[in-house]
C-alpha cells in the first residue's frame, strides 16, 4: 500500500494514496487515468525515481525500497523505462544511444556491446539506421530506439510512461505491436501507463483505473471494459 506526496510551497499535496496492486510476471498491465491522476508518480516509484512515503514495493519477493545504493543500481538495470518524449540524446547516433546503458554498467567489452546493439537493432527493425543521429529519426523510430535502449540490459520489467502519446495513430499501432511481440517473445512483463483507452484495449491483459491518486477499479481488461463498476471507468 504505497502513498507519496509532494511539497508545493510548503504544503503537502498527495499524488498517490494507498495504492495496492499485484502484477504477475508476463502480463501487460495498463494503468489508465486522466492527466494529474498520479500515473507518472506511480510508475516512477517502481524504479524509485520517486520514493514512496510509506508502503512496500515487492519485486520477486524483495522490497526494493530497502535496497542499498549499489543494489538499487543493479535493480534499475532490470527495470527498463520508456517515455513520451523518448529522452534520446539527439546528437548521438542510434547505436550509441542503445549502447549507453551497457556502457554505464562498465561490465562489457566493446565487442560485446557492438554485438548486443546489433541484436537490439534487429529486434526493433532499425538495423540500417545504426549510424544516423537520433535527432534525424521520425517519432515512431525514436520510440523504437527508446525501446531498444530500455531492453539493453535485459530487464525483467518494462515501464512505459505514455510512450505512444506523442505519436499518430498508425505509428502508435506499430509501437504497440512491437511491445506486444516483445512481451510474447521475451516473456517480458510490461507496465504501461496511458490516458488512451485504445492502448489498453489493444494490448493490455489487465488494467487498473486511477483517479485522484487512488485505484478505483482493477482487473482483467475484458471484465473491466465490459462491466465497469466505477463511474470513472464508465
Member of 10, 22, 24, 35 binding ligand ADP (CB under 6 A): 35
Contact pick of 40, 47, 172, 221 for Mg ion (by CB under 5 A): 40
Task: Report phi then psi at 79, rounded to 5.
Answer: -135, 85
Beta strands in 9-154 (DSSP E): 11-19, 28-32, 58-59, 62-63, 79-83
Size of the site for Mg ion (CB under 5 A): 2
| Binding residue for ligand ADP, selected from 29, 41, 178, 179, defined by CB under 6 A | 41
Cβ 37 to ligand ADP shortest distance, Å: 4
Q: How far apart are CA 78 and CA 153, in angstroms?
A: 7
In the list Mg ion, ligand ADP, none, the entry touching 52 (Cβ below 5 to 8 angstroms by class) is: none
Q: Tell me how far, at minimum, the Cβ of 193 lies from ligand ADP, in Å.
A: 7
The minimum distance between CB 184 and ligand ADP, in angstroms, equals: 27
Q: Which stretch binds Mg ion (CB under 5 A): 40-48, 107-115, 201-209, 222-230?
A: 40-48
- Assign 3-state DSSP to the chain and report helix, strand, coil percentages, each to 5: 40, 25, 35
- Closest to ligand ADP by CB, 102 vs 215, is 215
Residue nearest to Mg ion (CB): 40
- What is the β-pairing status of strands 214-220 and 206-211? antiparallel
**What residues have CB less than 8 Å from 149, skipping those under 6 apart?**
80, 88, 97, 98, 100, 101, 120
Sign of CA dihedral 91, 95, 98, 104: negative
Stretch that binds Mg ion, among 9-17, 31-39, 150-158, 204-212 (CB under 5 A): 31-39
| Residues paired with 220 in a beta bridge | 206
Options 24-32, 33-41, 61-69, 224-232: segment touching Mg ion (CB under 5 A): 33-41
- Residues near ligand ADP (CB under 6 A) are 6, 8, 13, 15, 33, 35-41
Amino acid at each position: 500500500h504505497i502513498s507519496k506526496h509532494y511539497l508545493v510551497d510548503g504544503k503537502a499535496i498527495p499524488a498517490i494514496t494507498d495504492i495496492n496492486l499485484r502484477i504477475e510476471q508476463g502480463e501487460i498491465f495498463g494503468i489508465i487515468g486522466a492527466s494529474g491522476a498520479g500515473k507518472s508518480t506511480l510508475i516512477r516509484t517502481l524504479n524509485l525515481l520517486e520514493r514512496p512515503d510509506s508502503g512496500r514495493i515487492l519485486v520477486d519477493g524483495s522490497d526494493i525500497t530497502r535496497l542499498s545504493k549499489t543494489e538499487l543500481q543493479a535493480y534499475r538495470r532490470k527495470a527498463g523505462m520508456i517515455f513520451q518524449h523518448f529522452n534520446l540524446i539527439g546528437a548521438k547516433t542510434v547505436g550509441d544511444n542503445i549502447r549507453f546503458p551497457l556502457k554505464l554498467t562498465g561490465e562489457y567489452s566493446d565487442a560485446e556491446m557492438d554485438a548486443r546493439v546489433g541484436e537490439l537493432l534487429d529486434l526493433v527493425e532499425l538495423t540500417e539506421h545504426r549510424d544516423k543521429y537520433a535527432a534525424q529519426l521520425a517519432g515512431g523510430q525514436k520510440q523504437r530506439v527508446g525501446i531498444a535502449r530500455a531492453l539493453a540490459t535485459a530487464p525483467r520489467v518494462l515501464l512505459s510512461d505514455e510512450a505512444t502519446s506523442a505519436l499518430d495513430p498508425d505509428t502508435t499501432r506499430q509501437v504497440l505491436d512491437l511491445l506486444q511481440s516483445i512481451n510474447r517473445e521475451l516473456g517480458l512483463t510490461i507496465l504501461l501507463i496511458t490516458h488512451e483507452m485504445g492502448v489498453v484495449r489493444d494490448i493490455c491483459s489487465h488494467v487498473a483505473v486511477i483517479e485522484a491518486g487512488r485505484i478505483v477499479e482493477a482487473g482483467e481488461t475484458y471484465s473491466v471494459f465490459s462491466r465497469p463498476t466505477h463511474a470513472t471507468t464508465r
